[in-house]
């Protein structure tokens, strides 16, 4: 039996036993990571530089892109380093930091998805009050609340989780330190504290999900009453990317955190973890830009500016 005070490091799940497969996983995750950096970086630059995108919807999208960058940067670099150097170790403090930052960014992202549902509700159901209800001050307050709630939720869950005595060793059956896998290592007689930790997070997530669901019920009712087919098409094109992201986020997150222990298999858990922690940051820029003409035009401008000015850098250094 081991105690948490004597644990100095955790052992993360290895993706493969052979060196060739480890390097393959490294290359695959490196490609996903670079795609996420490029996609979210382009969205950040486009929204920041294009004055046409200085609206509440794109302000929240900018925050979502920031959270996506942070979320994927919390998990993938360590996993890639472990695959490259053929190791599984992560320090106790490193695991706690990864645990905290992932929860903070994951919770913040869910909060912003909830706020974005409210933004779409106001834009479609109460368009005449959009400028009043979502002025710059209201947007800043909601953004601050989302970031702050993420920090508080992460602090609460991290402090409670890592204060539990660990009696089941230090091997984490996941490629990063996440809530279910750390709780599996805790002593069985602290079961009720484990349940309390999980229930706090589930309650907050359920509240956000109910709000999103209610918002979209009202949105679809308003859209179906629109007389113009063009108006319905525009409304659906504005809501569909957000709805796809929320569905992917909620389904994979619920399965990861609330699935019964009887269907817990290492390979399945690994696939689900990749789906909810790695793929959304890489896919969100593509999903949001696929049906958004304004964002696509702004991204094209950024890319064109980069290609035009990239040739000037050698001349600058020669001077």
So what's the pLDDT on residue 310? 61
Q: How far apart are CA 221 and CA 209, in angstroms?
A: 18
Distance of CA 70 to the CA centre of its chain: 8
Per-residue DSSP letter, 86: T
Helical segments of 165-278, H only = 179-184, 191-224, 229-258, 266-277
Kindly give the pairing relationship between strand 89-91 and strand 9-11: antiparallel
Q: How far apart are CA 246 and CA 266, in angstroms?
A: 25
| 214 Ramachandran zone, left/alpha/beta (phi>0; psi -120 to 50) | alpha
Q: Please, are residues 47 and 62 in contact by the beta-carbon 8 Å criterion?
A: yes
So what's the pLDDT on residue 259? 67
Q: Please, are residues 158 and 100 in contact by the beta-carbon 8 Å criterion?
A: yes
* pLDDT digits (tens), the chain, 319 positions: 445 557 888 989 877 778 888 889 899 999 999 999 999 998 999 898 888 888 999 999 999 999 999 999 999 999 999 888 888 899 999 999 999 999 999 999 999 999 999 999 999 989 888 988 999 999 999 999 999 999 998 998 888 888 888 887 888 888 899 887 888 887 765 556 656 766 777 777 788 888 999 999 999 898 888 887 877 877 777 788 888 888 887 777 777 776 666 666 677 778 888 888 888 888 888 888 766 778 888 888 888 877 776 655 454 444 4
So what's the pLDDT on residue 315? 45
Task: Specify which residues 272 forms β-bridges with.
Answer: none
**What is the per-residue DSSP string for 247-298?**
HHHHHHHHHHHHS-GGG--HHHHHHHHHHHHTHHHHHHHHHHHHS-HHHHHH
Per-residue DSSP letter, 14: P
Task: Specify which residues 10 forms β-bridges with.
Answer: 90
Q: Please, are residues 97 and 45 in contact by the beta-carbon 8 Å criterion?
A: no
Domains of the chain: 7-307 (1.20.1070.10)
Name the maximum alpha-carbon separation found in the chain.
Answer: 70
Q: How far apart are CA 198 and CA 205, in angstroms?
A: 11
For 241, residues 6+ apart whose C-beta sits below 8 A from its C-beta are: 287, 288, 290, 291, 292
Cα–Cα–Cα angle for 233, 143, 303, rounded to 5 degrees: 60
Q: Please, are residues 16 and 25 in contact by the beta-carbon 8 Å criterion?
A: yes
Per-residue DSSP letter, 11: E
So what's the pLDDT on residue 163? 83
Q: How far apart are CA 278 and CA 119, in angstroms?
A: 26
So what's the pLDDT on residue 317? 40
């Amino acid at each position: 039996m081991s105690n948490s005070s004597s644990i100095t490091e955790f052992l993360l799940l290895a993706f493969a036993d052979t060196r060739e497969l480890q390097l393959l996983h490294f290359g695959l995750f490196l490609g996903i990571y670079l795609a996420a950096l490029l996609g979210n970086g382009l969205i950040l630059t486009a929204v920041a530089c294009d004055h046409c995108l200085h609206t509440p919807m794109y302000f929240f999208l900018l925050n979502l892109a920031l959270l996506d960058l942070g979320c994927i940067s919390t998990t993938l670099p360590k996993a890639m380093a472990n695959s490259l150097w053929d190791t599984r170790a992560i320090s106790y403090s490193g695991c706690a930091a990864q645990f905290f930052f992932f929860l903070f960014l994951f919770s913040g992202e869910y909060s912003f998805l909830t706020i974005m549902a409210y933004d779409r509700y106001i834009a479609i159901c109460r368009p005449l009050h959009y400028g009043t209800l979502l002025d710059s001050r209201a947007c800043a307050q909601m953004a601050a609340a989302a970031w702050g709630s993420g920090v508080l939720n992460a602090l609460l869950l991290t402090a409670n989780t890592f204060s539990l005595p660990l009696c089941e060793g230090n091997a984490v059956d996941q490629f990063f330190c996440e809530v279910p896998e750390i709780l599996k290592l805790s002593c069985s007689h602290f079961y009720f504290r484990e349940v309390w930790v999980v229930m706090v997070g589930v309650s907050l997530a359920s509240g956000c999900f109910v709000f999103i669901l209610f918002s979209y019920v009202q949105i679809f009712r308003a859209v179906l009453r629109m007389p113009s087919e063009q108006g319905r098409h525009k409304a659906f094109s504005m809501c569909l990317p957000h709805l796809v992201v929320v569905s992917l986020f909620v389904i994979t997150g619920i399965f990861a955190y609330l699935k019964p222990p009887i269907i817990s298999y290492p390979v399945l858990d690994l696939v689900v973890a990749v789906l909810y922690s790695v793929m959304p940051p890489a896919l969100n820029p593509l999903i949001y830009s696929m049906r958004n003409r304004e964002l696509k035009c702004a991204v094209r401008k950024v890319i064109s500016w980069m290609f035009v000015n990239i040739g000037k850098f050698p001349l600058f250094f020669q001077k």
